[in-house]
Amino acid sequence: MTTLRLSNIVWGLGFTLYGFTTKAYIVAILNIIIVGLNSYLFAKERQ
């Protein structure tokens, strides 16, 4: 479960960069929210 969440964060960050380069800002912003949520849950799980 932990590795899945970590790859999710990496994938989300890559997609965010892609969103900004293609001017798809809505997609990029949504991905930032998803990545933030994933990072928060990941940090909470590790405690």
Q: Is the separation of the CB atoms in 16 and 33 below 8 Å?
A: no
Q: How far apart are CA 19 and CA 8, in angstroms?
A: 16
Say what the pTM is.
0.54
- Give Cβ neighbours of residue 24 (< 8 Å, ≥ 6 apart): 18
Half-sphere exposure of 29 (CA within 13 A, CB side): 4
Does residue 46 carry a pLDDT above 70?
Answer: yes
Query: Which of helix, strand or coil describes residue 24?
Result: coil
pLDDT digits (tens, 9 = 90+) for 8-29: 778 878 887 887 788 788 888 8
Query: How many domains does the structure of the chain reveal?
Result: 1
Domain holding 28, by residue range, is 2-46
